A and B are shown apart, each in its own frame.
Chain A
Amino acid sequence: MNIIVCIKQVPDTTEVRLNPETGTLIRDGVPSIMNPDDKAGLEAALRIKDKNAATVTVISMGPPQAEAILRESLAMGADEAFLITDKVFGGSDTLATSSILAAAIKTMSYDLIITGRQAIDGDTAQVGPQIAEHLGLVNVSYAEGIEVEGNYVVVKRQYEDRYHMIKAKMPCLITALSELNEPRYMTPGGIFDAYRQREVKILARPDLDVIDTNIGLKGSPTRVAKSFTKELKGKGTVVQLDVEESVDFLIESLQKKFVI
């Protein structure tokens, strides 16, 4: 069984600070990490590999420095790693990115594709499902549990107040939540091997069957209308009242603001 895991290098948003004067993000010196949902997806693939005979291939589209998370994947136990990188891919939105990733996946054999639900730097949750559309695959999103049963995967799909158990025939694509598991650590020897003996293969524009108008800035229909820093709301009012009084208080307050 061949599993492809899509991963992305993102700034560690827990380490991002705001410039108090300009209100913008300070990105300098912020460490880069493997996106948490993607890491859970990789762990899920590695657990399938632990139980069944499986090959785990990790792919990432990004700048050359994204190689680090591919080496990390190899050190965790992935079998192969591909970096999809080319200057002409720069500026790609989710549609262009998913077109490129799908084209890369088409060059490989697979039974299962796992992506993270969404990346912590963009939070769109679009790339995974879009890849499935490009490849004509069934897509099961928001996985908080994955089990392989013969040619099928049984996925526990998370909702706010319940979950669905979905059985899908492979090949298919699953988007993983970080709640899915606790990813394993690398091993020190795995790290040394990942750098000294393993290879991160490069796929560039000429290696992929994509149309130029579907990639990079040109292939990205998304337009950012406006970018702004969210204004901080006031502290709000805290009152301690019983039920009836608080209903009165709420109605009065909303009327004052002409909401009702």
Chain B
Amino acid sequence: MDFVLSKEQEMARKLFRDFAENEVKDLAQEIDETERFPKETVEKLARYGFFGIPLPKEYGGQGCDALTYAMCVEELSKVCATTGIIVATHISLCANPIKTYGTSEQKEKYLTPLAKGEKLGAFGLTEPNAGTDAAGQQTTAVLKGENYILNGSKIFITNGGVADVYIIMAMTDKSQGTRGISAFIVEKEFPGFSIGTKEKKMGIRGSSTTELVFEDCIVPKENLLGKIGRGFNIAMETLDGGRIGVAAQALGIAQGALDETIQYTKDRKQFGRSISAFQNTQFQLADMYARVEAARLLIYKAACVKDTGVRHSLESATAKLFASETAMAVTTKCVQLFGGYGYTREYPVERMMRDAKITEIYEGTSEVQRMVIAGSILK
């Protein structure tokens, strides 16, 4: 067992850290307050290949591994969780399923511009009546001649409205239950596809979260992703990868908050000394460090398992459960250590606490992760 990063992974981490510090950090507060999607950052991320990190070079990707991708999301999320999830959604939920299930024509047409960052990706599974019960899909796709006709709506879609390419799950045969769900590649411009309401959120407010509406939306037959009726499996396997991304985002939020708090407790003086000199502060910082480090190891392990090509549902669910609950617990404690200042927008920890909450909810709630874990260990 080797816990040492390779030289290239080490250098990539430094790149991500420098990029996050220089290009992302200064915008974090503003995009949070104004709920603005950071288009200029997305252009820079694209220019330097960040949208194609674990994707194959033959399709314009960077040819790196899942661990390097996770470190990228972690470093970006340390300073801005919004930026972290834009990248994670694009890679894990849109580009990855096309890489895994797409035909060579689909890869040429969609994966290449996604890997190069020329197009942005999103993923639509959740519906008003199909959240944790994802099998309850009501969006339908009916084959009519050379096209599928999609009707229905998706909600809470990250990168909604700003993405160009969407992976959409829809029911092709209701009588088959989960085996009647299929996956489609839908372009923003397809007739009958529109963007609905944009959500106003507690955290990750720079990220665009919208409803997607399909009204007799025409999707060419060749845009069926994978086999007919395999959509549910595609969605679940895609989420296995996505959970590494969200876990890395949670880890970044926790580490970012901890770093801010270590500095603050050294600077903040009460009763004539730095509050870091008090044992209560020291023990809390130590506990937080231990949790963050444990989360990191779980995530890196899940990423390494993914790189071997083996199914990694258990590892991903474990990492996501632990990392997101760590992010929530750590950011809450950090706000407490900051005291009144922590509750204000003068410091970033209140934003980090708001951002942390979503990691326990999206891409499978903590309860779903427990279901996946229990299902696996009770087999």
Taken together as a complex, chains A and B put the C-alpha atoms of A206 and B57 apart, in Å, by 39
The reply to whether B15 and A191 form a contact with Cβ atoms under 8 Å apart is: yes
Q: From A131-139, A153-161, A192-200, give the one contacting chain B.
A: A192-200
B8, B18, B52, B61: which contacts A191 (Cβ < 8 A)? B8
A68, A186, A195, A196: which contacts B15 (Cβ < 8 A)? A186
The reply to whether A192 and B62 form a contact with Cβ atoms under 8 Å apart is: yes
The reply to whether A188 and B18 form a contact with Cβ atoms under 8 Å apart is: no
Interface flag for A42 (CB, 8 Å): no
Interface flag for A228 (CB, 8 Å): no
Q: Which residues of the partner chain B approach A193 to less than 8 Å between Cβ atoms?
A: 63
The reply to whether B62 and A187 form a contact with Cβ atoms under 8 Å apart is: yes
Interface flag for A101 (CB, 8 Å): no
Interface flag for B34 (CB, 8 Å): no
Taken together as a complex, chains A and B put the C-alpha atoms of A68 and B72 apart, in Å, by 20
The reply to whether A188 and B53 form a contact with Cβ atoms under 8 Å apart is: yes
B45 to chain A, nearest CB (A): 10
Q: Which bracket fits the contact residues of A?
A: 10 to 19
The reply to whether A186 and B11 form a contact with Cβ atoms under 8 Å apart is: yes
Q: Which residues of the partner chain A approach B31 to less than 8 Å between Cβ atoms?
A: none
The reply to whether A188 and B19 form a contact with Cβ atoms under 8 Å apart is: no
Q: Which residues of the partner chain A approach B57 to less than 8 Å between Cβ atoms?
A: 189
The reply to whether A185 and B11 form a contact with Cβ atoms under 8 Å apart is: no
The reply to whether B11 and A71 form a contact with Cβ atoms under 8 Å apart is: yes
Interface flag for A45 (CB, 8 Å): no
Interface flag for A5 (CB, 8 Å): no
Taken together as a complex, chains A and B put the C-alpha atoms of A158 and B12 apart, in Å, by 35
Would you give the 0/1 interface string for A162-186, flagging 1 where the beta carbon is closer than 8 Å to chain B?
0000000000000000000000111
Would you give the 0/1 interface string for B1-41, flagging 1 where the beta carbon is closer than 8 Å to chain A?
00000111001100100110000000000000000000000
- In the complex, 9 of the A-B residue pairs with CB atoms within 8 angstroms, ordered by the A residue number, are A72-B11, A185-B18, A187-B49, A187-B62, A188-B62, A188-B72, A189-B52, A190-B49, A192-B12
Cβ-closest 3 pairs across A and B: A189-B62, A195-B8, A187-B49
**What is A's interface to B at a CB cutoff of 8 Å?**
68, 71-72, 75, 184-196
**What is B's interface to A at a CB cutoff of 8 Å?**
6-8, 11-12, 15, 18-19, 48-50, 52-53, 57, 61-64, 68, 72
